[in-house]
Amino acid sequence: MQPASAPSAWPTHWVFLRGLSREQRHWGNFPERCTTELGWQITHLDLPGFGDQHRRLSPRTMSAIAADLAARMPWPDPEIPIGILGLSLGAMAALKWVDLQPQRIAALVLINGSAADCPLHWRLQPGALPPMLSALGRRSIKQQERAILNLVSNRPSAIEAALSDWVQIRQQARLQKRNVFRQLLAASTARSPSAAAMAGIGKALVLSSRGDRMVSWRCSEKLASEYQWPLTLHPDAGHDLPLDDPEWIIRQLVAQA
C-alpha cells in the first residue's frame, strides 16, 4: 500500500508514548500502519519503569517522567519538526514534555488523555477501579492481562487476538507493581499546562471514545476546549483505541492533515 496523501501539516517524525503500565510492544501493528499509510518515521520511548526501562523506578511526577523521556530522545536534526502521539498516561506525559521543551515539539495527537484538573470521576470512572485492583491481584499473568484487556477494550475479537502477545510481553519484561502505583500517583497530580505553554504547537488533534470505560471522553473534550484543538469522538471503542479501531484513528489523521 502506498502512503496516504497527507499534506505536510503533520510532521513526518514522531514519538509514540504508551499509557499506564504499558510499553511500546502493546501498540501491536499500529505504528507499522502509520509508517506504511502515513509515511511517518516513528521513535518509540518506553516510560521509565516499563518495557525496555522495566528495571528502573518510575518517577512520582509527570514532569519527571517527561524530563526522563526528553533526556533519552535521540533527537534528529534540530530543523526537523517532531510530533508526539500519546495514549492515556502517554498523552499526559506528552503535554508535560511540551511544557518542558516547547521549542522542540511541533505537533501532538492525544488519545484518551486526561489531567488532574478534570474531575476525579472523569479521570478514573467509578466502575474502572475494582477491575484495575482485581487485575493487579490475580495470580497468573494470563489472568492479569485478560482482566486488563477486558477493561480497556470493547472488542472481544481484539482481546482474544492480543492476549497471548500481552502475556508474552509481561513474561519478557517484568512488571513491578510499585511502578504502576507510582505512575498513578504521577497522573493524580499532573495538571494540564497553560494554553500559553501550548502556543508553539502548530498542529494538534484530540481523539477519544464515548465507549471508554476507564477514562471519560469528557477529559479529552476539556483538553480540546482549553487549547482550542479539534476533537473527534469514536462512538463505541474502548480506552485502548489503537487496539479496538486503528483504521479509524488513521482516517482521522488523514482527514485532519
pTM of the predicted model as reported, rounded to 2 decimal places: 0.94
Q: How far apart are CA 47 and CA 21, in angstroms?
A: 9
| Mean pLDDT on 70-96 | 94
Q: What mean pLDDT is predicted for residues 55-72?
A: 97
pLDDT at residue 142 tops 70 = yes
Residue 188 or residue 134, greater confidence: 188
Which cell numbers in the block locate residue 56?
Answer: 528502573
What's the pLDDT at 1? 41
Grid cell in block for residue 29: 501493528
Q: Quick one: 96 exposed, middle or buried, by C-beta within 10 A (0-12, 13-18, 19+)?
A: buried
Residue 99: count of CB within 10 angstroms of its CB: 17
Q: What is the pLDDT of residues 177-193, one digit of tens each?
A: 999 999 999 999 999 99
pLDDT band for position 26 (cuts 50, 70, 90):
very high
Instruction: Look up the CATH number of domain 13-124+177-256.
Output: 3.40.50.1820
Give the three cell numbers for residue 116.
488532574
